Structure 1
Amino acid sequence: MHADELVYRAATAADISAVVALVESAYRGESGRRGWTTESHLLNGQRTDAQDVGEAIARPDSLVLLAERDAVLLACCHLEKQGDAAYFGMFAVDPTRQTGGIGKRVIAEAERVARAQWGVDRMRMTVIVQREELIAFYERRGYARTGQIKPFPYGDERFGIPRRDDLRFEVLEKPLGEVTA
């Protein structure tokens, strides 16, 4: 194995606490401020919890994909089949390792897995509209703004405690093309 190689695998129940810690470190609190993916300026509170991660791991047509190097968790994302598309979410890269290309590689692997495992032809995600730099990152990966807006779940602290009253999500989508062997 090359020193820079990432190893991908599906998370199990034994990985729940590590996934929660990674996601929280990337999106919330002081460690999240070191990376560019932080939402701390928009939300307080938690980003996910053990129950959410456990349910994502256990649900049919759902998986939490882990990216590791030397058995150290560096990144994760959640994939879920939704009709003829796969939903991509809970994407996190260790804040101390961001901007090194890991995120791009994990997205590419997630797209490959979604096509291979479910035969879907599109990947879909929701991004807080105020996260323009994050939307631009996804646009550079081939995702397009659909114009479809979804409400932010105000009042449900499982998704964080909003610091402003105008948060909402926009749906981004990317065609995945043909499934190749």
Structure 2
Amino acid sequence: MDCAHSAPLAFREATEDDVEPLVALVESAYRGEASRVGWTTEADLLDGQRTDPDGVRAVLKDPESRVLVAEAGGELVACCQLERRPGAEGVAAYFGMFAVRPGLQGGGLGRRVLAEAERTAAELWGARAMEMTVITQREDLIAWYVRRGYTRTGRMSPFPYGDERFGLPRRPDLRFELLVKPLR
């Protein structure tokens, strides 16, 4: 049995030493055959990379961002990025780079990471809302967020076709929808 299943979960802020393990975790959760072990795979929608070391380093250096990591038994098992954004109704936090080790998906770990991210954004920045964008074709993932209090806004943004840093689309109709949840 994977020791991460039974070990207590600990959260901390990511450091430069976490860059390579973070890239490996995110890639394993979303791209390639390994991602099919879990339910968050985007392998049918996108090929190529989901992130890279330079992208993760940029997030770590950004004073408006934090990367939270979850460890169990000394192993990195999940992560997410938070970014402080000003909004019309106060500070909002953007939630991204969310990944859970594929073999641990479906057991409640993602819910715990999301709850910790919401708590952290509210406590650290006084965020009044959490925002995220999700590929519209990911209906199962959108439904998961809706069950956790997020609202579909109907506000769409285009997929960055032609920018291989975000992957190689396998279809021409990808776009993102903004989801929002009040934190207070």
1:51 corresponding residue in structure 2: 54
User: What amino acid sits opposite 2:10 in the alignment?
Assistant: V
Whichever residue aligns with residue 19 of structure 2, its letter is I
Which of 90, 94, 99 is residue 87 of structure 1 equivalent to?
A: 94
Q: What does residue 3 of structure 2 align with? A: none
1:154 aligns with 2:171: no
Identity %: 61
Contact 2:150 2:181 in 1 (8 A): yes
Q: What's 2:115 paired with?
A: 108
User: Secondary structure of 1:36's match?
Assistant: coil
Aligned to 1:128: 135
In the alignment, structure 1 segments of 5+ residues that lack a partner are none
Matched residue type, 1:166: D
Determine the C-alpha separation between the residues in 1 that align with 2:103 and 2:32. 14
Q: How many angstroms does 1:169 deviate by? A: 0.1
Amino acid at match of 1:162: P
Aligned counterparts of 2:19 and 2:173: Cα–Cα separation in 1 = 31
Match of 1:24 among 22, 27, 51: 27
1:13 aligns with 2:20: no
Shift of 1:71: 1.1
TM-score (norm 1): 0.95
Q: Aligned letter for 1:138?
A: Y
Over residues 77-97 of structure 1, what are the superposed CA-to-partner deviations in whole Å (9 max), with x where a residue is unaligned?
000001110000010000010
Structure-2 residue corresponding to 1:66 = 69
RMSD: 0.7
Deviations 1:115-150 (CA, angstroms, capped at 9, x unpaired): 000001000000000000000000000000011000
| Segments of 4+ moved more than 6 angstroms | none
What SS does the corresponding residue of 1:169 show, helix, strand or coil?
Answer: strand
Q: Normalising to structure 2: TM-score of the pair?
A: 0.94
Once the two structures are TM-superposed, the CA of residue 4 in structure 1 deviates from its matched residue by 4.4
How many angstroms apart in 2 are the aligned matches of 1:26 and 1:141? 20
Contact 2:7 2:73 in 1 (8 A): no
SS in 2 for 1:75: strand
Return the offset for 1:30. Answer: 1.0
Give the whole-Å Cα distance in 2 for the aligned partners of 1:166 and 1:172: 19
Cα deviation, residue 5, structure 1: 2.4
Look up the equivalent residue of 2:9 and give its one-letter code.
L
Q: For residues 17-71 of structure 1, give each alpha carbon's deviation from its aligned partner in whole angstroms, at most 9, with x where no partner exists.
A: 0000000000001110111000000000000000110111110120110000111
Structure-2 separation of matches of 1:100 and 1:89: 20
Structure 1 counterpart SS, 2:106: coil
**Structure 2 residue 46 is matched with structure 1 residue 39:** no
**Counterpart residue type for residue 13 of structure 1:** E
